[in-house]
Structure 1
Amino acid sequence: MPVRLRLAALAATAAAVLIAPTAPTGAVGAVHVEDTPFPPLTPAVAAELDAAIQRTLRETRVPGVVVGLWAPGKGSYVKTFGVADKATSAPMKTDLNFRIGSETKTFTVTALLQLVDQHKLSLDDPIGKYVSGVPNGDRITLRELAGMRSGLYNYSEDPDFDKALLAGQVFTPQQLLDYSFKHGVQFAPDAKFDYSNTNLILLGLVIEKVTGRSIQQVVNDDVVKPAGLRRTLFPTGAEYPDPHPQGYTEVSDKIVNATDWNPSWAWAAGAVISDLQDLRSWAKTLATGTLLTPATQAERLKTKPIGEIPGAGYGLGVFDVQGWIGHNGSLPGYESLTVYLPEEQATMVVLLNTDALVDGQEPSTLFGEAITDIVTPDHVYPGHKVTAPRPS
């Protein structure tokens, strides 16, 4: 199958971006919530989760999974299943670093929104103000890019891009845009929702132009640090800090090791690396808007229906599915899901070392569904039949 980023369960892959080293006016510094003691779930509920996750592991044929759940009034559950390395049978562990794919988008758009708070740009600015040569660039706004409503073709669905990725090419942002722009526009701005990594490459370029710094510097210094994240990184190349699991993807119906594939092809749409406890903290920071002013956070959470997923909407670089706010990620070798449920102040993080679909479904979504069906039955994170092309 072609190598493509897909709409992983609701969206896919993630990135990081921001500007000033301090939080914007009106925002409060984040607290790393891993430092807060948390009682465990009752043995009965934990046993039920064990059984559900083990069953899902067998059904999805995922090598290994890390699961974290924290729900006030119910308790916490942090556990690993399966292996981090199929060759050595090394077990999955809770302290491993993971490539988090499209969860990167939550960092990138947070960076953009901080610039809004600093009055350095407006969400209603046309992208043509910052980047030349964009089809419909005088009409497509930054808001429409962040909300996946631009109408720009997704470069990661281009057949020539597939071939270059499999050949090991290292991409520049402009090369990624070239794959998109040769297709022109798919529909008028804001006409509908259409998940496209092209949107986030453009927003990354906007952030670099406005700040005068690289996207890596902006994300690492102005988003990651103020959020109190200790093991989250927007890499400059293919580096992947130890310890980390091996990641497995599917190419032409064969499973291959994609651990060291260079994430340049995902850049501001999907290159960030993180771990369980940092993502636990980030989930609440993202959903509650700690790094933004209340007004800007309110703009971020104005979701519009995704359409094909009941009870799901997409805001600005974030989704709301049955009350769970956050994002998922998928790139060759890895999948992730990080969400926060404000109604119950609950957090769920799922990390996998494969992105191979199961009967057209994202394995991360199947784990999320199995977990929430037990712990938050009024807010079940739904499974979804994927129709968008997948990376393999």
Structure 2
Amino acid sequence: MLAVPVSAGAAFSVESPVAAYSAAELAPTALAPSVLAPSALPPSASNGAFVELTPEVAARLDTAIQQVMREADVPGVMVSLSAPGKGTYVRSFGVADKATGAPMNPDLYMRIGSVTKTFTVTALLELVDQGKVGLDDTIDKYVDGVPNGDEITLRQLAGMRSGLFNYSADEGFYKAFTSDPDRPFTPQELLDYSFKHPVNFQPGAEFEYCNTNLILLGLVVEQEGGLPLNEYIQQNVIEPAGLRHTLFPVGAEFPSPHAHGYTNQTASGKVEDSTDWNPSWGWAAGAMISQLDDLHRWARILATGTLLTPETQAQRLITPPTTIPGAGYGLGIFNVQGWIGHNGSLPGYESLVVYMPEARATMIVMLNTDILHDGVEPSTLFGKAITQIVSPDHVYNLPVSPTPKT
């Protein structure tokens, strides 16, 4: 995948590699409801796939989360868990700003990386429902100059089966980004980094996670939706979903209060504060910003298809196997051991936004570093540690890729 924004550890996020820095404070900051009494829903509303979030379970979660923080040197993390009849767990640990020691808390804005893909593909699928685009249309109908453009369908782009080269794996892109992470990139510049390379395989032949696919889909949404992508998503996805603290920035803007992010995706390889870096290089694949409560709401909307017709949502949730054991990938959405959603990573931030239909359970993890630990995304480490406790029959895990791509 890549050095600056694509990692070998978690095949589905926009980005990131490894290093370590000083350990974070681990005292939990008290927050929104920690462990609430189970809801009034009858026990039948949820089954044994997800445990009751009792005080004893909460204590185990606190310990497991703090252990991952220590081992992976994560500055700060916030976690939200819930299921009908099982209760709610919301916690944050560590610091949002290493310089001041300001505590992490669940009201902070965070960059969400590849979770952006779920919004872009939802926008595309809304256009499918409106009859403005077809999933089996080829991309050359909308964008000129795409290698194999007369064969690659929108479905293959959304499902990561196009064969196009990932622009964020291009050495020229890496050099341009790390030498000036504040610079803006246009969608066409990103495509140019990709299109100078030969295709990796014929359309539909394989699965390969690729940010180039989403840049193309973003252009389709703009063309057929009649608005800039950020405005279309705001009006047709964010607002209908009732998300009040989610946005698609056009530059480096970052609402306050927000957590500082820390990365080693730098020209020197040293850890830097990446909070105000321009995320335009991720655009439709990874530029968005959100907050814990909004993502908790979005996870359910995404997995249940509230904004789409049942027919289109059913197509979205067809998740053929990938190169990752136990993981399938559909249309801008994955299924990892029964958890449906997406992860996200870009310099300084990671997120995990998933929903398990079997138990109607939601899990959100947000943290302020993307530095790998032993080749694995820290969001994956948290997801695994948490689900080993709350859903032992459905443990979230994205194993390290045996042959990382650079």
TM-score, normalised on structure 2? Answer: 0.88
Aligned residue type for 2:37? P
Q: Which residue of 2 aligns with 1:220?
A: 234
Indicate yes or no: 2:379 matched with 1:368.
Answer: no
Q: Kindly, what percent of the aligned residue pairs are identical?
A: 65
CA distance in 1, matches of 2:272, 2:6: 17
Relative to structure 1, the CA distance from residue 332 to residue 266 in structure 2 (aligned partners, 3 Å threshold; closer, same or farther) is same
Indicate yes or no: 2:392 matched with 1:380.
Answer: no
Partner SS for 1:205: helix
CA distance in 1, matches of 2:133, 2:269: 46
CA distance in 2, matches of 1:97, 1:39: 27
CA distance in 1, matches of 2:279, 2:271: 19
Per the TM alignment, residue 39 of structure 1 is displaced from its structure 2 partner at its CA by 2.8
| Contact 1:13–1:105 (Cα < 8 Å) also in 2 | no
CA distance in 2, matches of 1:6, 1:114: 30
Per the TM alignment, residue 184 of structure 1 is displaced from its structure 2 partner at its CA by 2.1
| Contact 1:52–1:371 (Cα < 8 Å) also in 2 | yes
CA distance in 1, matches of 2:364, 2:167: 28
Residue among 51, 54, 76 paired with 2:88: 76
CA distance in 1, matches of 2:57, 2:111: 30
| Contact 1:287–1:326 (Cα < 8 Å) also in 2 | yes
Tell me which stretches of 4 or more aligned residues in structure 1 moved more than 3 Å: 386-390
| Contact 1:8–1:330 (Cα < 8 Å) also in 2 | no
Q: Which residue of 1 aligns with 2:184?
A: 170
Output aligned runs, 1:260-299, within 5 Å.
260-299=276-315
Per the TM alignment, residue 384 of structure 1 is displaced from its structure 2 partner at its CA by 1.5
Per the TM alignment, residue 4 of structure 1 is displaced from its structure 2 partner at its CA by 2.8
Partner SS for 1:200: helix
Q: How many residues align?
A: 369
Aligned residue type for 2:226? G
Once the two structures are superposed, residues 294-339 of structure 1 have per-residue CA deviations (whole angstroms, 9 ceiling, x without a partner) of: 00000000111112x2211000000001110000000000000000
CA distance in 2, matches of 1:188, 1:39: 53
Per the TM alignment, residue 47 of structure 1 is displaced from its structure 2 partner at its CA by 0.6
Aligned residue type for 2:364? V
- Aligned CA-pair RMSD: 1.8
Aligned residue type for 1:341? M
| Contact 2:118–2:342 (Cα < 8 Å) also in 1 | yes
Structure 2: gaps (5+ residues) = 16-31, 39-52
Aligned residue type for 1:75? G
Relative to structure 1, the CA distance from residue 8 to residue 76 in structure 2 (aligned partners, 3 Å threshold; closer, same or farther) is farther
CA distance in 1, matches of 2:270, 2:212: 28
Indicate yes or no: 2:72 matched with 1:60.
Answer: yes
Per the TM alignment, residue 221 of structure 1 is displaced from its structure 2 partner at its CA by 0.8
Per the TM alignment, residue 43 of structure 1 is displaced from its structure 2 partner at its CA by 1.2
Q: Which residue of 1 aligns with 2:173?
A: 161
Once the two structures are superposed, residues 225-258 of structure 1 have per-residue CA deviations (whole angstroms, 9 ceiling, x without a partner) of: 0000000000111100000011000034411111
Structure 1: gaps (5+ residues) = 15-33
| Contact 2:119–2:237 (Cα < 8 Å) also in 1 | yes
TM-score, normalised on structure 1? Answer: 0.91
Indicate yes or no: 2:7 matched with 1:6.
Answer: yes
Partner SS for 1:102: helix
Partner SS for 1:90: coil
